[in-house]
Chain A
Amino acid sequence: MSFPSTPAQTVGPYFAIGLPWPDGPHAVAPGTVGAITIRGVVYDGAGEPIRDFLLETWQADPDGLFADLYGHGGPSKLAGFRGFARVGHEDGDGSFELLTVKPGPLVMPSGANAAPHIDVSLFARGLLHRCVTRFYFADEGSANAADPVLASVPAERRGTLLAKAAAGGYEIDIHVQGPGETVFFAL
């Protein structure tokens, strides 16, 4: 027997009452060897920073292991590795900052290699359902070139998914709409 999915609704303007956690932006414990920050700004279709949004990320550790309920692949060697970060701003300047590590490459069911990537959910007032995107890493040239998902994205839009090396880690902006609109995925 199958049931219809419960429909989504917007996270609205007041999610900060309940959702952000003090250490939410930490996908790894502070002080983790190899930790990086990923920074960026979320923009709307007018090119203005979105001051209220909730951004969540989910990823493997550098060995390709997940800190999920079942520890897929085995326990991470990184103490305190969560692989999940949640950043919520109710009245910010559009920017976000996560503390994490670069994930390892993964193998897809077909045997193809997936380039290192982080899955991203974006929620906001005015978004009736989440937007899903990915962060890839611009300095993973050969892995990115072989990645089947990146290959499915029109070449001229691929760059919107690539985080660029910056001090302490990487930078990537999200454009919800307009010129340079970020690639969003149907999951």
Chain B
Amino acid sequence: MTDSEPQPRQIYDPVSDTPSSYVREAEGIHPPLDFPEYKSTALRHPKQPLIYLPQNITELTGPALGSLAPVGELDNDLTRQHDGEPIGERTVVSGRVFDTEGKPLRNTLVEIWQANACGRYRHRWDRFEAPLDPNFTGAGRAVTDAEGRYRFVTVKPGPYPWGNHYNAWRPAHIHFSLLGRAFAQRLVTQMYFPGDPLFAYDPIFNSIPGEAARSRLISRFSIEDSQPDWALAYEFDIHLRGPGATPFEEAL
């Protein structure tokens, strides 16, 4: 834990904590949809201006878990989903999911997927000439606890080449998908590892404007959470946007 990490406050109340709106995110928090350095954006970004959507109950609610995604006992341990253990640096990735007011989001689904220790995905599109690992699929999911905490055990993914430009390599990363508790909070992102020499060369990472914002996707090595004779640990906290300051201000 760092000094700046907020202490858990009360958990959400079913009625009073459904906000009247979620805060509008300022320009510059998320990457622009048009980012020429990442070539696949060219034909896949809208060119017309986005239209302001007043938030109503559809945006202020979101799917419950239950039968949607029953989370099994081994879903958060990517090293125990096969007969044997995967090759690679055994790694614990844990953290907490908050809103932007520092309130922990409990009972929210966190899904991850990643390459194996060699940087190869178990996916037919991945043609990187690195070995697949018969003991590693690379997918996991967890539901946050009362303090908004999730925890995965995995192996550290390797960096891998891609076709965006000559000698293009993605920094090692784990993909994260969060449902939050409202349609307005839905987030898909990627977690990186500290000190990666590929940061300077990766257009996807650098599509995020500003070093401070980019740094929020870099996990923190934690000697405290590392387990002797077993695994190193990294912490990655996530903030999904929280309630807007002024209820009904934006309502039509």
- A: which residues have CB within 8 A of B? 1-19, 21, 44-46, 48, 50, 56, 58-60, 66-70, 72, 80, 82-84, 90-91, 106, 108-110, 112, 114, 117, 119, 121, 123-132, 134, 148-149, 152-153, 157, 176-178, 181-187
- Which of B85-93, B183-191, B193-201, B221-229 binds A? B183-191
Q: Are B38 and A126 in touch, CB under 8 angstroms?
A: yes
Cα distance A16–B98 in the bound complex, in angstroms: 26
Cα distance A69–B55 in the bound complex, in angstroms: 18
How many Å from the CB of A144 to the closest CB on chain B? Answer: 15
Residues of A within 8 A of B57 (CB): 60, 66, 72, 106
Closest B residue, CB atoms, query A123: B188
Q: Are B62 and A68 in touch, CB under 8 angstroms?
A: yes
Q: Are A84 and B68 in touch, CB under 8 angstroms?
A: yes
Residues of B within 8 A of A58 (CB): 58, 61-63, 183
B148 at interface, CB cutoff 8 A: no
Shortest 3 CB-CB distances between A and B: which pairs?
A126-B40, A18-B113, A84-B63
Q: Are B183 and A182 in touch, CB under 8 angstroms?
A: no
Q: Are B123 and A5 in touch, CB under 8 angstroms?
A: no
Cα distance A107–B175 in the bound complex, in angstroms: 37
Q: Are B68 and A187 in touch, CB under 8 angstroms?
A: no
Residues of B within 8 A of A134 (CB): 53
Q: Are A1 and B102 in touch, CB under 8 angstroms?
A: yes
B204 at interface, CB cutoff 8 A: yes
Closest A residue, CB atoms, query B99: A3
Closest B residue, CB atoms, query A175: B46
Residues of B within 8 A of A8 (CB): 30-31, 187-189
Contact among B46, B61, B207, B248 with A131 in the assembled complex (CB-CB below 8 Å): B46
Cα distance A87–B62 in the bound complex, in angstroms: 17
Residues of B within 8 A of A157 (CB): 48
- Which of A9, A16, A176 is most buried by chain B, counting CB atoms within 10 A of its CB? A9
